[in-house]
Chain A
Amino acid sequence: MTRADDTLPADPSDASGAPRAVMSEPDVARALRRIAHEIVEHNKGADELVLLGIPTRGVELAKRLAALLAEMEGAEVPVGELDITMFRDDLRHQPTRAPMPTRIPSSGVDDRVVVLVDDVLYSGRTIRAALDALSDLGRPRAVRLAVLVDRGHRELPIRADHVGKNLPTSHAERVMVRLAGVDDVPDDSVSIGLGETRAGAPSTPGGEVR
């Protein structure tokens, strides 16, 4: 993003270096609505479901999915938050940060169908950590994964059950999800840019950051 045009490496997906919008507000809304339908269809109803968002944006997405399920099925699906900070496998590669809250709905997760919700699925390591965190909290009947964007490059045998958008990317790129209500933006958006920071998604091509 900060590099000048003439120094950019040949990159088929992006010639300008500026972030390229790939999903707009209505796209995000449509994707979430489809995911909500899929969840209900797959689960044959909304019974026994628990939505657990992975902070920060997964929590917002989980809340939106719960609202859609309420609208579609008239069902009150419990929503919780599952922080994975303490379960990461790359703790030694970045500065420590204060963990975000973990809030499990009072219904618990035992014998429920837990749907983990996150914004971007990349290496799969976050989800691996989430599965570990979840196993300390109870024994769900099944665990499913819903993500807004699947950008590929999995490093673990993990896949999403419900995907808002499959987004082929290169390692050098960064997927930025911005959600109204979490980020300081008026509208939801998903865009791709060239990564230069290590916050969130990894930056170095082929790097082992996460």
Chain B
Amino acid sequence: MRHLLSSADLTRDDVRMLLATAAEMHEVQRRDVKKLPTLRGRTVINLFFEDSTRTRSSFEIAGKWMSADTINITGKGSSTSKGESLRDTVRTIDAMAVDCVVMRHMASGAAHQVAQWVDASVVNAGDGTHEHPTQALLDAYTLEHRLGDLEGRRVVLVGDLTHSRVFRSNAITLRTLGADVTLVAPPTLMPSGIRSWAETDGLHLTDDLDAVVATGPDAVMMLRVQRERMSGGFFPTPREYTVGFGLTRERLRALTDANGDAVICHPGPMNRGLEISADAADAAGSLVLDQVSAGVAVRMAVLYHLLAGEEVAA
């Protein structure tokens, strides 16, 4: 494994190995001395052209706990604000002989493109509305931690599918692990082409959240309504979205009535009161903070497998 660009690049064995590694890294997180010498002498650049709290900080912590030198570069503070092109920026960074570029960019496919330009390993930490593979891995890790093997488990992804890279990566990884995946969204927020993807990969599609909740799924993952990517017209009012597709107090009750062990995920940041009610976010079955905690362990596993192994002849 040289880059991690898409969840689709990971076989079931790859995912299994990354999650098994993450489980051991999670142990390290509970120690007094949270430091492994594994990536000593390696340099990891976090290149973030979009805002991020948990992804960037967890990559930074993951690198530091494995003794890599991590440096953060944000779009705003970098030469891109002086008009430098993405290609020149990443080639400049690559010329400093860094080992890994963790990149978030607002353009879909940016990480793939950058991987062509640099010698360093590239980790896609979110590219536009395309993919966010480490989020999918940490969600899978969190779900497995609580539910056990995901083979045959019923996971529901709800919300803004059109703009969600989290959903795309999650749907792929969950299918790779054999979970039964249902997608729920208003028709206006179903991305084009989703029907043929759903048919090929065996995803279920619906716009009736109540009906899905009543079947008592094992996990419900609420996606953030990405207002910064919307230019109006996707739904009439926020209130109307909440009524149809929010995990409201009433739906939470319906969910726990149907399956008392059902868990709730949200990749964050949450719009409380829009796609998820405070009751659901803070419910006993809510794994929101477990997801964050798993984020560091999963990213340690990713950095380890990308950077520690045998040098591949170029």
Contacts and interface: CB of A to CB of B under 8 A. Distances in A.
B144 interface: no
Contacts of B31: 136-137
Nearest to A102: B27
B35 A101 contact: no
Given A86-B37, A86-B38, A94 B309 contact: yes
Contacts of A157: none
Interface residues of B, number: 18
Contacts, number: 46
Contact of B20 (A86, A98, A132): A98
B309 A96 contact: yes
A44 interface: no
Interface of B: 17, 20-21, 24, 27, 31, 33, 35-38, 66, 304-305, 308-311
A99 B311 contact: no
B99 to A, nearest CB: 11
Contacts of A136: 31, 33, 35-36
11 contacts: A86-B66, A87-B36, A87-B38, A92-B309, A92-B310, A92-B311, A94-B309, A95-B309, A96-B304, A98-B21, A99-B21
A92 B308 contact: yes
Given A136-B33, A137-B33, A91 B38 contact: yes
Report whether over half of chain A's contact residues are helix, strand or loop; otherwise say mixed: loop
B67 to A, nearest CB: 10
A83 interface: yes
A101 B27 contact: yes
A91 B304 CA distance: 10
A65 B206 CA distance: 59
A92 B38 CA distance: 10
Size band of the interface chain A makes with B = 10 to 19
B41 to A, nearest CB: 10
A87 B17 contact: no
Nearest to A88: B38
Contacts of B311: 92
B302 to A, nearest CB: 11
Highest count of chain B CB atoms <10 Å: which of A83, A98, A100: A98
A86 B311 CA distance: 16
A38 to B, nearest CB: 31
A207 B24 CA distance: 30
